[in-house]
A and B are shown apart, each in its own frame.
Chain A
Amino acid sequence: MNVDRREFLRRAAALVGSLALPDFVPPPAAAASRARVPAYASWADVYRKQWSWDRVVRSTHHLNCWFQAHCAWDVYVKDGLVFREEQAGEYEPVNAHLPDYNPRGCQKGGCFSTRMYEPTRVTHPLKRVGPRGGGRWERVSWEAALDDIADAYLDVTVEEGTDRTIWDLGPGIDLGVSMAAQGRFSMLTQSVGLDMDGEIGDSRRGTLETFGKIVFERSADDYFYSDLILFWGGNPLYTQIPQAHFYTEARYGGARIISITPDYNPSAMKADLWIPIKPGTDAALALAVCREIVFGGHVDEAFVREQTDLPLLVRGDTKRYLREADIAAGGQAAYHVLWDAQSGALRAAPYRSLALEALVPELDVKRTVRLADGTDVEVRSVYSLLKDRLAEYTPEAAGAECGASPALVRRLAGEIIAAKRLANISQTSLCKYFHGNLAERSIALVFALTGNIGRRGANFSGFPLLTPDGGDKFTIPPSLSEAAATFGKLEPLIKQRMAAGDTHEMIVTDLGRLLFVPGNPLLRLPVWTSGTLFWHVHGGIGELAEKSESWGLGNKRPLNEYVEESIAKHWQPLNPPPDRPPRIMISLCSNPLRRARGADKLLEVLWPKLKKIVVLDWRVSSTGRQADYILPVAPWYERTSLKWVTPLSPYLTITNAATPPRGESKCDWDIIVMLARHIQARAKARGIGSVKSPQGLEVRLDTLYDDLTMQGAFKEGDDDKVARTLYELGNTHKKLTWDELKEKGFARFENLPDEPSSIGNMCEIPPDDSIVPLTFHVRDKVPYPTASRRIQFYVDHPYYEELDELLPRYKAPPKIGGDYPLVMTGGKTRWSIHSTWRDSPLMLKLERSPEPYMLVASPDAAKRGIADGDWIRVRNDVGSFATIARVSPNLRPGQTLMYHAWEQFQFSGAGDMNSVSPTPLNPVELAGGHPHLTAGVLQGQNSVFDRDTRIDIERLRGRPS
């Protein structure tokens, strides 16, 4: 039939007398029509009956809310639809002294019931029509989509190798049910997952360098015990909405807040003191504070002697730590050496414990010692070297660099010195600066020198993460009944290492590192690789750094030399290697074209290499728009899962399927299992059995589904069963059964998870008090997982020596993108979590501008004749884009700020905010072959730097076309 009126009328006439209600369940047909017509006088009648819900379900939003993850919500269901959500507000008080966690939530979560039903939601598999990015799609059946993807996968895997299929794992990965499917798929097929932690700019490199790990954080209620809280590099009023109240409540207990940021941001407004500094100069300020502490005689010597490497000796000739093997025949190469004031002699530093026993390490050591081979060398303690370094950071000198007055620097130092319990806040802002590692090391030094680590109310903030620990037991063994045997193979190694003095934390961390070593002889594991390095090499982002030598990065050699050396020495993981281009990319909880700095390059360089791009999502993101398939994922109120949280809010919070998935959507678990089923079926049909991975592991393709599902024990539709199993396999929660947890929606962690992404917290999770990370080190004297087994400020790696970063120092921010007068900073937006709500009409209403905008400092705008609301072009040596200028009095002159996560398609004209961010690699992050600078789960890999991006802006006549 055509749509012309005559044909329409003809068809309508044919329907006379029929009744077709596909979207309704009508009343029973037997009822007389008269009885079916209720009284109706006016529309108000439909409102007379009391409204009731079919059910109320506890659920949450399992995206990367990061510091604020997650919040329990009551989800109200009627007629198979979620109408609204309401904060659960049932978090029990932890103790009588501490404020409780109620109510948890944010405005994004509070409108998710609207967001999930927006017209842009994808509810059917979509296949590209025409060229990639052409914007034309067709609905296809699951069978057709998965058969096509399975055939492409088989072609690539058989012809080019198992490592050509890439899982682009975005920040939304749950380390729960979705990752159970992806992890088993990767373990069985040796396909490669991208570790995105550094790639999203969350590397916390300086924390790794100092503590040998990045994961450790307190619970947010611990701030109630602090007397001074530093908002250093963070904006918790934006990034920690559900728990920001703890900061303001801490002030009732007498705590003071000092904000150290370039802009007078919403959190700075809540502070007692705001110290405005130039972007990227935090290290100068921190080292000036350290100088005041050291030269003012305020060092907590007991803490420093025991917990840090400051008393350890360094050889003047090699610039490496002095080892016991250097001074005594038969001495241990792993043992560091200190000068014991008690005996007046060199002594090996305690190895199995931090406890000094009878030793009294001298801090300020500079002397000549005789080595075992009879040579005399000068040795100095790290503390002595540090004093030399700190001497130059006078408040005047540091103030000149960072822009704070010397008086303000002294005042900050004074407040810190006077504080009994000093705290700072979770942030992943400093590590987005090229020299952010140095800033983190310098700030950590402030905390270490004053002994404000590992005590209630006193702690340095690491990277917050708590993951329920049942995942590995589900993902790695062939079946659950073989779990004990699978992990039993590790027992001899574990015993051997424990006997040699290694700690449980070190061993668990190292097991995580095996994910980056495909084909390792110990255990068949999923394969992970560095996301940043993958984009850099395979994605072409590295090409953007071709002009980097003029950006003042301070490298001693061309960047590529470092990259090639690091890859050749296997210091950093890159799978597949550079000569094996990737062919299939499956994006899970990910949106790299929105996120990756310099993402235009991915389209230019990576996309042509890919034979199939599959995006699993419930909306058409920037990446989805350039994909071959979009497979519709059920959002959080339509599936059951569990996910990581953070110690800041230490409650495992689950999603519950409040309603069935809309349309043909499915949860990630189902989609990956179905893909395995299609691969198995197509392999059988095509007579394909197995192939070998590049490392020689057999990959069975004709039994993939059977193996992934443990011979059918966990099939499609079993997401709830998988979640229950993960929960029950874990050791973190024993008080509530899975069914009770589903009813309640959340449960406080009871034990420290025994897995690589959480073990670093190294503390109890008390039921009745706040969480104090690093307790096992500070209270129980368990060594840190660093080379020196202490909080380590001296990093004796060749790259650190070459780049003069053996000790913390300040390096002026480079001019990434070229010598332009303005610096483009960024931050997390208040109105979206990553890009998930970025184009939500409701949230955009609350934005200062419903499309991408840049905050520009008033004097910079005036100088360029730019008024609030004008269109501007932002440009530098690598690219440009257009946006709206919002003139702000809150910004420091010279600073511009773009809150993150605008989708590419929200920009007008060519380019987007990532087009000007070339994000060159920092060579120190390419280090490896070192006990704690080795890639591991979410740590020790390259990161991205967009905060030092230099730009200029000019007014446009109007919106670009």
Chain B
Amino acid sequence: MTPGGELKALLGSAAGRSAVYALLARCFRHPAQVEQHPLPAPAFEAAFEPAISEHACSLRAGAYWAHEQSTLFEELVRFYEHFGLARAEHAELPDHLSVQFQFMHYLAHLEDEARADRAAIDALTRAQRDFLERQLRRLVYAVHGALKSGDAGCRELVALAVSCVDAEIARTSRAARRNPDIPSTT
């Protein structure tokens, strides 16, 4: 199977999706915070740490947000709180790409656990679609557009994130079309 096909297969189950999001969340944390990070710290910092590198793109949605920061934080925190997640003491900021992937990892994990509970799965599918469309898609595309690093690993990582988010948006939208109870996101 091609890597593209394998990814599709993995995203075909809630457990697989949860694992993919978990790994993306790990990959977008600073290498010092993660064992066996795929990227060396200097490459990661040069690509994604604007405090350190003038040419880095930010992994924070706030960097691409044209409105008041608190409105962005509020929506994110509301999403997280709605699903019972509170912010950990030394957490990244709520708009960080890694945090957003963690949230998706959690929703997919709940979905996997919910198994036969149709109502729960519907709710989680709607939430995933909304979060993807309202937050995550905007952020991964912004990062993709702002990425200046020539490091192949960084570029591949961002490309992977875009592919996953695209695939997930397609999946959740299909689910919405199949299930008219899932209202439009806008």
Q: A residues bordering B, Cβ < 8 Å? A: 1-9, 11-27, 33-34, 36-43, 45-47, 49, 51, 78-81, 83-84, 113-114, 117-123, 126, 129, 135-139, 619-620, 660, 663, 905
The answer to whether B126 touches A40, judged by C-beta atoms less than 8 angstroms apart, is yes
Query: Does B172 count as interface, using CB distance less than 8 angstroms?
Result: no
Query: Given the complex, which residues of B lie within 8 Å of A14, measured CB to CB?
Result: 19
The answer to whether A117 touches B69, judged by C-beta atoms less than 8 angstroms apart, is yes
Query: Does B127 count as interface, using CB distance less than 8 angstroms?
Result: yes
A12-B20, A34-B114, A138-B41 known; A45 and B53 CB under 8 Å? no
A17-B15, A37-B120 known; A43 and B134 CB under 8 Å? yes
The answer to whether B84 touches A16, judged by C-beta atoms less than 8 angstroms apart, is no
Residue of B6, B38, B113 near A2 (CB, 8 A) is B38
> What residue of chain B has the Cβ atom nearest to residue A43's Cβ?
B130
What's the nearest-Cβ distance from chain A to residue B39, in Å?
7
The answer to whether B123 touches A663, judged by C-beta atoms less than 8 angstroms apart, is no
Give per-residue flags for B57-98: 1 if the beta carbon is below 8 A from chain A beta carbons, else 0: 011101100001110011101111111111111111110101
The answer to whether B117 touches A122, judged by C-beta atoms less than 8 angstroms apart, is no
What's the nearest-Cβ distance from chain A to residue B27, in Å?
7
Q: How far is the CA of A619 from the CA of B32 in the complex (A)?
A: 20
Task: Please provide the chain B residues from 126 to 158 with a CB less than 8 Å away from any CB of chain A in the complex.
Answer: 126-127, 130-131, 134, 152-154, 156-157
Residue of B51, B99, B112 near A619 (CB, 8 A) is B51
Most B CB within 10 A of own CB, among A37, A42, A49, A905: A37
What's the nearest-Cβ distance from chain A to residue B155, in Å?
9
What's the nearest-Cβ distance from chain B to residue A265, in Å?
30
The answer to whether B70 touches A13, judged by C-beta atoms less than 8 angstroms apart, is no
Residue of B22, B52, B124, B183 near A37 (CB, 8 A) is B124
What's the nearest-Cβ distance from chain A to residue B183, in Å?
5
Q: How far is the CA of A33 from the CA of B127 in the complex (A)?
A: 16
The answer to whether B3 touches A42, judged by C-beta atoms less than 8 angstroms apart, is no
> What residue of chain B has the Cβ atom nearest to residue A632's Cβ?
B51
Q: How far is the CA of A94 from the CA of B41 in the complex (A)?
A: 57
Q: How far is the CA of A117 from the CA of B3 in the complex (A)?
A: 38
21 chain-A/chain-B pairs, Cβ below 8 angstroms: A3-B38, A3-B153, A5-B3, A5-B7, A12-B19, A12-B22, A17-B112, A20-B26, A23-B87, A24-B86, A27-B84, A33-B113, A36-B110, A37-B83, A38-B123, A41-B183, A43-B185, A47-B78, A135-B53, A136-B46, A139-B32
Query: Does B175 count as interface, using CB distance less than 8 angstroms?
Result: no
> What residue of chain B has the Cβ atom nearest to residue A618's Cβ?
B51
> What residue of chain B has the Cβ atom nearest to residue A14's Cβ?
B19
> What residue of chain A has the Cβ atom nearest to residue B183's Cβ?
A42
Query: Given the complex, which residues of B lie within 8 Å of A16, measured CB to CB?
Result: 15-16, 18-19
The answer to whether B45 touches A139, judged by C-beta atoms less than 8 angstroms apart, is yes
What's the nearest-Cβ distance from chain A to residue B111, in Å?
8
Q: How far is the CA of A9 from the CA of B8 in the complex (A)?
A: 10
The answer to whether B89 touches A40, judged by C-beta atoms less than 8 angstroms apart, is no
What's the nearest-Cβ distance from chain A to residue B4, in Å?
8
Q: How far is the CA of A21 from the CA of B113 in the complex (A)?
A: 16
A15-B19, A37-B117, A81-B87 known; A119 and B50 CB under 8 Å? yes
The answer to whether A119 touches B69, judged by C-beta atoms less than 8 angstroms apart, is no
Query: Does B23 count as interface, using CB distance less than 8 angstroms?
Result: yes
The answer to whether B58 touches A9, judged by C-beta atoms less than 8 angstroms apart, is no
Most A CB within 10 A of own CB, among B3, B22, B51, B114: B51
The answer to whether A81 touches B94, judged by C-beta atoms less than 8 angstroms apart, is yes
Most B CB within 10 A of own CB, among A1, A22, A42, A81: A22
Query: Given the complex, which residues of A lie within 8 Å of B19, measured CB to CB?
Result: 12-18
Q: How far is the CA of A21 from the CA of B142 in the complex (A)?
A: 24
Query: Given the complex, which residues of A lie within 8 Å of B15, measured CB to CB?
Result: 16-17
Query: Given the complex, which residues of A lie within 8 Å of B112, measured CB to CB?
Result: 17
The answer to whether A40 touches B123, judged by C-beta atoms less than 8 angstroms apart, is yes
The answer to whether B157 touches A121, judged by C-beta atoms less than 8 angstroms apart, is no
Q: How far is the CA of A24 from the CA of B110 in the complex (A)?
A: 15
The answer to whether A139 touches B30, judged by C-beta atoms less than 8 angstroms apart, is yes
The answer to whether B80 touches A24, judged by C-beta atoms less than 8 angstroms apart, is yes
Give per-residue flags for B1-42: 1 if the beta carbon is below 8 A from chain A beta carbons, else 0: 001101100100001101110110111011011001011011
A16-B19, A113-B69 known; A21 and B53 CB under 8 Å? no
If A17-B112, A25-B85, A38-B83 are given as contacts, then 10 extra A-B residue pairs at C-beta distance below 8 Å, sorted by A number, are A3-B39, A3-B157, A9-B10, A16-B19, A23-B102, A24-B85, A37-B83, A37-B117, A126-B52, A136-B53
Q: How far is the CA of A532 from the CA of B38 in the complex (A)?
A: 49
What's the nearest-Cβ distance from chain B to residue A19, in Å?
5
A18-B19, A120-B51, A620-B51 known; A37 and B62 CB under 8 Å? no
Query: Given the complex, which residues of B lie within 8 Å of A123, measured CB to CB?
Result: 51
The answer to whether A118 touches B62, judged by C-beta atoms less than 8 angstroms apart, is yes
Across chains A and B, which 8 residue pairs bring their CB atoms closest together, nearest first? A5-B3, A33-B113, A119-B58, A23-B91, A27-B84, A79-B87, A40-B123, A46-B78
What's the nearest-Cβ distance from chain B to residue A188, in Å?
33
Query: Given the complex, which residues of B lie within 8 Å of A84, measured CB to CB?
Result: 70
What's the nearest-Cβ distance from chain B to residue A547, in Å?
34
Query: Given the complex, which residues of A lie within 8 Å of B45, measured CB to CB?
Result: 137-139
Q: How far is the CA of A620 from the CA of B52 in the complex (A)?
A: 8
A24-B102, A37-B124, A81-B93 known; A13 and B10 CB under 8 Å? yes
The answer to whether A119 touches B62, judged by C-beta atoms less than 8 angstroms apart, is yes
Query: Given the complex, which residues of B lie within 8 Å of A21, measured CB to CB?
Result: 85, 88, 102, 105-106
Query: Given the complex, which residues of A lie within 8 Å of B167, measured CB to CB?
Result: none
> What residue of chain A has the Cβ atom nearest to residue B48's Cβ?
A119
Query: Given the complex, which residues of B lie within 8 Å of A114, measured CB to CB?
Result: 62, 68-70
Query: Given the complex, which residues of B lie within 8 Å of A121, measured CB to CB?
Result: 51
> What residue of chain B has the Cβ atom nearest to residue A664's Cβ?
B90
Query: Does B162 count as interface, using CB distance less than 8 angstroms?
Result: no
Query: Given the complex, which residues of B lie within 8 Å of A18, measured CB to CB?
Result: 19, 22
> What residue of chain A has the Cβ atom nearest to residue B44's Cβ?
A139
Query: Given the complex, which residues of B lie within 8 Å of A117, measured CB to CB?
Result: 62, 69, 93
The answer to whether B52 touches A137, judged by C-beta atoms less than 8 angstroms apart, is yes
A5-B3, A16-B18, A41-B126 known; A78 and B77 CB under 8 Å? yes
What's the nearest-Cβ distance from chain A to residue B50, in Å?
5
A20-B26, A23-B98 known; A9 and B7 CB under 8 Å? yes
> What residue of chain A has the Cβ atom nearest to residue B153's Cβ?
A3
The answer to whether B82 touches A46, judged by C-beta atoms less than 8 angstroms apart, is yes
Query: Given the complex, which residues of B lie within 8 Å of A79, measured CB to CB?
Result: 77, 86-87, 94
The answer to whether B60 touches A119, judged by C-beta atoms less than 8 angstroms apart, is yes
What's the nearest-Cβ distance from chain B to residue A44, in Å?
9
Q: How far is the CA of A252 from the CA of B185 in the complex (A)?
A: 55
Residue of B54, B106, B154 near A135 (CB, 8 A) is B54
Query: Given the complex, which residues of A lie within 8 Å of B39, measured CB to CB?
Result: 3
A5-B7, A137-B45 known; A15 and B22 CB under 8 Å? yes
Q: How far is the CA of A810 from the CA of B56 in the complex (A)?
A: 53
Query: Given the complex, which residues of B lie within 8 Å of A118, measured CB to CB?
Result: 62-63
> What residue of chain B has the Cβ atom nearest to residue A114's Cβ?
B69
Query: Given the complex, which residues of A lie within 8 Å of B29, measured CB to CB?
Result: 22
Query: Given the complex, which residues of A lie within 8 Å of B32, measured CB to CB?
Result: 139
The answer to whether B91 touches A42, judged by C-beta atoms less than 8 angstroms apart, is no
Residue of A9, A22, A37, A619 near B3 (CB, 8 A) is A9
Query: Given the complex, which residues of A lie within 8 Å of B23, measured CB to CB?
Result: 8, 11-12, 15
Query: Given the complex, which residues of A lie within 8 Å of B3, measured CB to CB?
Result: 4-6, 8-9
> What residue of chain B has the Cβ atom nearest to residue A140's Cβ?
B32
The answer to whether B127 touches A36, judged by C-beta atoms less than 8 angstroms apart, is no
A18-B22, A41-B183 known; A25 and B88 CB under 8 Å? yes
What's the nearest-Cβ distance from chain B to residue A333, in Å?
61
Query: Given the complex, which residues of B lie within 8 Å of A41, measured CB to CB?
Result: 123, 126, 183
The answer to whether A42 touches B185, judged by C-beta atoms less than 8 angstroms apart, is yes
> What residue of chain B has the Cβ atom nearest to residue A51's Cβ?
B74
The answer to whether B123 touches A4, judged by C-beta atoms less than 8 angstroms apart, is no
A39-B123, A40-B126, A43-B130 known; A138 and B42 CB under 8 Å? yes
> What residue of chain B has the Cβ atom nearest to residue A46's Cβ?
B78
Q: How far is the CA of A626 from the CA of B32 in the complex (A)?
A: 24
The answer to whether A26 touches B106, judged by C-beta atoms less than 8 angstroms apart, is yes
Q: How far is the CA of A493 from the CA of B168 in the complex (A)?
A: 81
Q: How far is the CA of A83 from the CA of B73 in the complex (A)?
A: 8
